[in-house]
Amino acid sequence: MNAWLLDKCIAYAKAHRHPELAEQTVWEVFEAERPKLVPYAGRFDGFHAVPASVSKTCLVRFDNNKYSVAASAVGRPVEVQAYADRIVIRQDGRIVAEHPRSFGRGETTYNPWHYVPVLARKPGALRNGAPFKDWVLPAAIERIRRRLASTDDGNRQMVDILNAVLTDGLSAVEAACAEAIAHGVHSADVVLNILARQREPAAPANIMTPAALTLRHAPIADCARYDNLRRTI
């Protein structure tokens, strides 16, 4: 359809005179103007932007619905960029949230990862907090979560593991959880220890000494050489 429309536009431009420059066709005027046009810079980023405030519960209201933002955004204004299919929320040019756009009324869209830093103060919210309801975690992390649920400090340990995702990344934490399970353990200390070992730089490769540089006679320690240097000076 777009190709057909382009062909029709070009045909029209070539067949009709310019409304102001009657001695030329629309196409001829366009060709003369083409070198002065701004080059195409890519797809137009079309959105409706409005300022908004962030509530203490890390929520931003837009168009009768609420969307969660990163906990670090609380206390300062943000800009809501509403696209046809999604909502992007920025603060000081940095994206602090992105969600599919809701078109109902009174709906709340959560991203549980936005609330992980808050869990350090309220680990019990992990068990019954609204943002974490029906939260689907990667398989290995979910297995650790289920096993920790039966321990007294399971919530706190799980919060420590989730906070590690913010620094080490989801794939690294999932791999560490899988390794811990493979060893038959499921404590946060073990998972964090595995992550710490993964962050350590790899041991340098051994360099083989060429035969031509191999010492045939071990050097003799002779501190009297320093006295000789002093007398020379």
All structural domains of the chain with their residue ranges: 48-109, 115-199
Mean residue pLDDT of the chain comes to 92
Q: What is the pLDDT of residues 85-141, one digit of tens each?
A: 999 999 999 999 999 999 999 999 999 999 999 998 889 899 889 999 989 999 999
Report the percentage of the chain scoring pLDDT > 70.
99
How confident is the model over 205-224, as pLDDT tens digits?
A: 788 878 888 888 888 888 88
Q: What's residue 218's pLDDT? A: 82
Interval 171-190 mean pLDDT: 94
What is the arithmetic mean of pLDDT over 5-33?
A: 95
Q: What's the rounded Cα separation, in Å, for the pair 182 and 162?
A: 19
Q: What percent of the chain has pLDDT over 90?
A: 73
Per-residue buried b or exposed e for 19-54, using 16+ beta carbons within 10 Å of the residue's own CB: eeeeeebbbebeeeeeeeeeeeeeeeeeeeeeebeb
Res 114: pLDDT: 96
Residue 229 identity (one-letter amino acid): L
Residue labelled with tokens 């071990």: 218
d(CA 89, CA 107) in angstroms, rounded, equals: 17
Phi and psi of 66, rounded to 5°?
Answer: -120, 145
Quote the pLDDT of residue 69. 97
